[in-house]
Structure 1
Amino acid sequence: MTAQPQAQRLVLATRNAGKVVELHAILGAAGLGVELVGADAYPEIPDVAETGVTFAENALLKAHALAQATGLPAVADDSGLCVDVLGGAPGIFSARWAGTHGDDKANLELLLAQIGDIAPPNRGAHFACAAALALPDGTERVVTGRLLGTLRYEPVGSGGFGYDPILQPDGYQVTCAELSADEKNAISHRGQAFRALVPAVRELLPRVG
């Protein structure tokens, strides 16, 4: 009896189990038999400093670092909120806009104060995400996704995280924080980017190992 070939392992540069589940579902829906694991599978590998000046640069930094450290193909993403009247800020500084990394409440309060007197027609914004695939030999692909919307004046909803309570996606009457997980994943910037990365995974993974 012939043994079945082992599935290619792919490492996602995150310790967020939800992201691993999301990408696993997307790869599975595309018919790709990939063994996907998060960075927690390699606890000895430190997190990579996001020193790039664009989402794409940060995603590539993390993907290449993980691919080199593990000897496996790696995927990474970087995302944030881009506000039209702020020239695209907070952008790559979204998670630390108020000074402390990951302080969602402070970030929200500062941003809302900065655009408090901006009229509704000028409160356009979007979530942006870059997703990168890197191989140990240096081969890389990077794609992007966007979720367009308008900023509310006050946070609404208890779901999601970050700026979700203030971004109302175009075509919706609720914020991202009021959507169910499935509804959000269907339209999210990260979901779009991960789905756009599928052709690169299909193209490049057979070349590995």
Structure 2
Amino acid sequence: MTVLLGTPGCTGDPEPDRGHRVAGTDAPVVVPGRPGEAGRTARPGETLGPGESHPSAADVVFAEGMIPHHRQALEMSGLAPERAADAAVKALAARIAAAQEPEVRVMSSWLRALGREVPTGHAHGTASPGAYGMATPEQLNRLRRARGREFDELFLRLMITHHEGAVRMSAEELRAGTDRTMLSMAQDILDGQRIEINRMRALLATITG
């Protein structure tokens, strides 16, 4: 299935209509299923309710960028149990993994429902090394070699920057996106990671103070 999506915010078009709409033939429209059930693709010409999804290019860019962005955070967090010295850093890494693994699954399923390939690894599109707070290969290698307090400090510094990038990505999705699932995901990420940024800054100050 091919998704043909225009780029939002570049044509001067009016704000997308979030009321009832009719599914077209140019791009698939994902209709969420009931709890525990898979979504479906709307039939061309089908009238959709105001709560049903209609993905735009911004939504696809967000998912395709956030998946590898999250995967890097998961890789970094996975190093903590054996390398971190501070129990609070280990607990933080566990919370990051618990939050972001399900989000990756949701975004991956959403992309597959559109007929899009799920990005592999953590160097794709907007989430390439150095973009949106992504750690570079050199920084990741330093983190892998670090142990104890050195790991704790480097992990926190890298993850604060990483979270700040995710907040920017989420804010961009909230401005330009149209899909209900991705907008909800972006809001959750923005709210949750802002809180974690504050916690990490306080923890870093404790460790380095």
Same fold (TM over 0.5): no
Which TM-score tier does this pair reach, normalised by the shorter chain?
under 0.3
More strand by share: 1
Q: TM-score, normalised by structure 2?
A: 0.27
With normalisation by structure 1, the TM-score equals: 0.27
Asked which structure has the greater CA Rg, the reply is: 2
- Give the number of the structure with larger relative contact order, counting CA–CA contacts within 8 Å between residues 6 or more apart: 2
Bigger proportion of residues as helix: 2
